[in-house]
Amino acid sequence: MINVIGLGYIGLPTALMMASHGIEVVGTDYNKELVDTLNAGHTTFQEDGLDELFIDAVRSGITFTTEYQRTDMYIISVPTPYDKFSKKVDACYVIAAIRQVMKVCLKGAIVVIESTVSPGTMDNSVRPVVEEYGYKIGVDLHLVHAPERIIPGNMVYELLHNNRTIGADLKEIGEKVKEYYASFCQGEIVVTDIRSAEMSKVVENTFRAVNIAFANELARICRHDNMDVYEIIRICNMHPRVNILQPGPGVGGHCISVDPWFLVGDYPRLAKVIDESMKTNDSQPEFVLNRIHEIMQENGIEDNRKVGLYGLTYKENVDDYRESPTLQMLELQERHLARPLKCYDPFLENHKIAENQYNDFDKFVTDLDMIVIMVKHDHIKQNWDKLRGKVVLDCFNICPFKNAYHI
């Protein structure tokens, strides 16, 4: 039996996927309300295919509880926040979970850490805690790191098809863990050492963050001299060895906007390009806010109560708003004592997370003269007609109106 610890955006889909493929699974989370919701037959967030997967897992016998189980296999998938000042990862939730596991686990248990951690976290933070309890690593308990690589909005598909990395001290332990993941994973599963597994996940997200920063910086350069950044990117991408990403209003989520800072925090004198790239991405919401002000002046809009932000989530077609660029922009306004802009998100109509948030799209549009597309939900693509006659700032170059503004 596998005890999956942490039933959030990563832990829950992983637990459901394993259970639906014939593995006995008990899901554990300290949040009683969350556990009660799952036991009542409801998922806790919106995700394509998740409800169907949940039904399959329940039929296969998965159970949910707040208690840690006595078994020989654990998967820990808890948050790993980072300190915004030191830029270092805080492994407190991982360590807390490890401590609880050691109170109940069988001798020789395997503990798989799926949570994203900075390189060296297992050696510097996790191993000392295990040894503090008198456990001999490799005998009494085996540590494994298997970072997740899935993205909200496509989780179920990516759980099935993405490649995976498993880091273990002993190859035979890594191969044993691989068998569990191979029960559902159709991608390649690589077994390596723990340090390489830690580094690979952070490097993947850092690579993407740096490339996004290049696109965002290019947008600023083109805006400065009134050039069409989208046309320039389109032409450049015709080259067989060039693949420039599209600029946007910022970077959100709990991976690309966070993980690269781990390297900056751990290697401040070496991670120069990464540091500057993250600063570019982090300042992109401010760049968009300045662009809003320019467009308001150009169109004679003097009252910011007539300006609204469409989209509060960090990416399209999900209800996950962690580190969302829109929330970053609203926080920036608050720091400058400005009245927060009105906002709306179709995925958060029943979940208020911001001041001046609407739960009705039609009323949101009616009350405004200018709308800023901060998230490219499919919903907005199906409702362009309702925006006719409005000033539109399109942060993604998706609006069909010829007079739409761009970043």
Q: What residues act catalytically?
A: 201, 255
Strand order in the sheet with 63-65: 63-65, 25-28, 2-5, 73-76, 109-113, 141-145, 164-168, 189-192
Output the DSSP codes for 53-104: HHHHHHHTT-EEESSPP-SSEEEE-----B-TTT--B--HHHHHHHHHHHHH
Q: What is the CA radius of gyration of the chain?
A: 23
Residue 332 CA from chain centroid, whole number: 21
Helices (H), 225-360: 229-236, 259-266, 272-282, 284-298, 325-335
116 φ/ψ sector (left φ>0, alpha ψ -120 to 50, else beta): beta
Residues near 184 by beta carbon (within 8 Å), at least 6 away in sequence: 17, 18, 20, 21, 159, 160
**Amino acid identity, residue 149?**
R
Backbone φ, ψ for residue 221 (5° rounding) = -60, -45
Cα–Cα distance measured from residue 282 to residue 190, given in angstroms and rounded to the nearest whole number: 33
Extract the tokens encoding 256. Answer: 């690309």
